[in-house]
Amino acid sequence: MHNRLQVGIDFCQKRADFCLLFPDGRPLEAHMAFDNSYLGYSRAKQLLLDALDDYAFEGIDVSGEATGYLWLPFFLQLAADPDLAPHNLRLHLLNPRWVKWFKKCFAQDDKTDEKDPYYIAERTRTRRPDVAWSADPSILALRFYTRLRFHLVQNLAREKCYFSAFLFLKASAYRRLKPVSDVFGATSRLVLTQQPSLDQLADLPVEDLALHLHEMSGHHLRDPFKNASKLKRVAMESFPLDQRLALPVQRILDLTLEHIRFLEGQIECVNQWIATELQHHSPILQLATIPGVGPVFSSGNGAEIGSTQRFLQGHKWDARRKRYRPRNLRDVEDAVAKIAGLWWPRASSGDFEAEDRRMAKTGNRYLRSYLIQAANQMRTHIPEYAAFYARKYKEASKHHHKRALVLTARKSVGLVVGLLHRNEPYRSQERK
């Protein structure tokens, strides 16, 4: 169907700017603005229905930019609206980078809210995305949880870095000597925050200090005398801190540790929500059967990919046979890898072919992160992936671990897609 109405929408907090184009690129409505509310949606829907009735379009393509969640209520209403369902509606969510690069083709134009929806509609008209956006509330619910966890983990990492900076001021040798195995463990937190202070503890005889540390740890230290000796070395080898700075530094450490404890509790709570929600998604549950890949990583990958069936819609150009063919599972794997940014674009001109190909890194950063983290676990639990990682590690000229890990993540895409598509558990020596 080529006779399709093209609609571009530019969303902001207060309004949604529309542009309607004929299939040949002529504007049907160059610009119309509606409130980004349910009332505004109702008016916009009527505009679309009138256009569909007046010009007998065979379908409608609605496109918007993925800017925050400003687009989501509008798209959810469009996807669920029974009045639009008979009109072969397709929703397209564009990467803002695509639209930004496409705008450069119109260098002489102004950058305004009136022009932006035109660029979005024209981008879809001239090069429609391979995969349409689909609304599945259950998948969206799982995605909300996994992205919330991603957000909390990032905040936790930032807080630990902030804490480490002030820990160096309090006891510069603490992280180097490691008087306890885990700086952020329960025993370490008590040593750094409770009274007596770190210096006062270090002034105690080794026997008394060892006994005190053993009691603080709940009698979990294997060699309290060794821990006590290291703690005394920390006090001796650390830079002395001016007394006027000691109190502010200690207060910052106390509050930061409290925040870290709070974030850890939130992450644990979200993990439970994810595990509960995961029980309603049989295909995603199959990802958890991969050795080393638990419910968090499997949920993150499954929620971002969604149903594999949406990747199989339409046809793909076969350059070798010079014709279009139905999409297959290999095409789904390639599409998912591109969405995650795990692909390496070719750079060739004439007889020149670039040997150094950089990873794209564009697309869904959540999916890319979860695929890489899952691959890092798979390389330690699955011999096939361990051997592949080791081979790529040796082949890399620099950044050995990073290069080998992202290549392992790219290899894992086939396995992830296959399990999701077939709704089957992992089996040893599973192939794409």
Residue 92 belongs to domain with CATH number: 3.30.420.10
- Preceding omega of 283 cis (within 30 degrees of 0): no
* Domain annotation covers residue 418: yes
CA distance 96 to 94: 6
* 193 and 69 co-located in one domain: no
* 158 and 262 co-located in one domain: yes
Over residues 144-156, the mean pLDDT reads 96
Question: Can you tell me whether residue 320 is helix, strand or coil?
Answer: coil
* Domain annotation covers residue 334: yes
Q: Is the dihedral of CA 291, 293, 299, 305 positive or negative?
A: negative
Question: Can you tell me whether residue 194 is helix, strand or coil?
Answer: coil
Mean pLDDT for the chain? 89
* Domain annotation covers residue 432: no
* 183 and 267 co-located in one domain: yes
Tell me the per-residue pLDDT of 338-395, one tens digit each, with 9 for 90 and over: 999 998 887 777 777 776 778 887 788 999 999 999 999 999 999 999 999 999 999 9
* 287 and 265 co-located in one domain: no
**Which of 245, 275, 305 corresponds to the end of one domain?**
275
Determine the pLDDT at residue 357.
77
In this structure, which long-range contacts are made by residues 153-162, counting pairs with CB atoms below 8 Å and at least 24 apart in sequence?
153/267, 155/263, 156/260, 156/263, 156/264, 156/267, 159/256, 159/259, 159/260, 159/263, 160/184, 160/260, 162/256
* 113 and 154 co-located in one domain: no
pTM: 0.87
Determine the pLDDT at residue 420.
94
* 118 and 44 co-located in one domain: yes
Residues 6 or more apart in contact with residue 220 via CB below 8 angstroms? 187
* 104 and 10 co-located in one domain: yes
* 186 and 249 co-located in one domain: yes
Tell me the per-residue pLDDT of 229-273, one tens digit each, with 9 for 90 and over: 888 888 888 888 888 998 999 999 999 999 999 999 999 999 999
Tell me the per-residue pLDDT of 103-142, one tens digit each, with 9 for 90 and over: 888 877 777 778 899 999 999 999 888 788 887 888 999 9
* 235 and 317 co-located in one domain: no
Residues 6 or more apart in contact with residue 159 via CB below 8 angstroms? 256, 259, 260, 263
Determine the pLDDT at residue 1.
46
Would you say residue 405 has pLDDT above 60? Answer: yes
* 58 and 20 co-located in one domain: yes
* 308 and 339 co-located in one domain: yes
* Domain annotation covers residue 428: no
Would you say residue 432 has pLDDT above 90? Answer: no
β-strand 348-349 against 352-353: which pairing, if any?
A: antiparallel
* 105 and 188 co-located in one domain: no
Query: Domain range for residue 49?
Result: 4-135
Q: What percent of the chain has pLDDT over 90?
A: 57
CA distance 93 to 71: 9
CA count, 13 A, side-chain hemisphere, 284:
27
Over residues 157-182, the mean pLDDT reads 92
Structure confidence at residue 218 as a pLDDT band (50, 70, 90): confident
Structure confidence at residue 324 as a pLDDT band (50, 70, 90): confident
Which residues are registered as beta bridge partners of 27?
A: 21
Which residues are registered as beta bridge partners of 94?
A: 65
Would you say residue 147 has pLDDT above 90? Answer: yes
Over residues 390-405, the mean pLDDT reads 93
The number of domains in the chain is: 3
Structure confidence at residue 196 as a pLDDT band (50, 70, 90): low
**Which of 216, 241, 275 corresponds to the end of one domain?**
275
* Domain annotation covers residue 427: no
CA distance 214 to 82: 67
Determine the pLDDT at residue 9.
95
Determine the pLDDT at residue 240.
86
Structure-token pair, residue 4: 């399709």
* Domain annotation covers residue 92: yes
Would you say residue 323 has pLDDT above 90? Answer: no
Structure-token pair, residue 316: 């793909």
Task: Order the strands of the 27-35 sheet from edge to edge.
Answer: 27-35, 15-21, 4-11, 59-65, 89-94
* Domain annotation covers residue 430: no
Determine the pLDDT at residue 431.
47
Question: Can you tell me whether residue 222 is helix, strand or coil?
Answer: coil
**Which of 116, 135, 154 corresponds to the end of one domain?**
135
Tell me the per-residue pLDDT of 50-107, one tens digit each, with 9 for 90 and over: 999 899 899 999 999 988 889 999 999 999 999 999 999 999 999 888 888 888 888 7
Over residues 302-325, the mean pLDDT reads 85
* Domain annotation covers residue 429: no
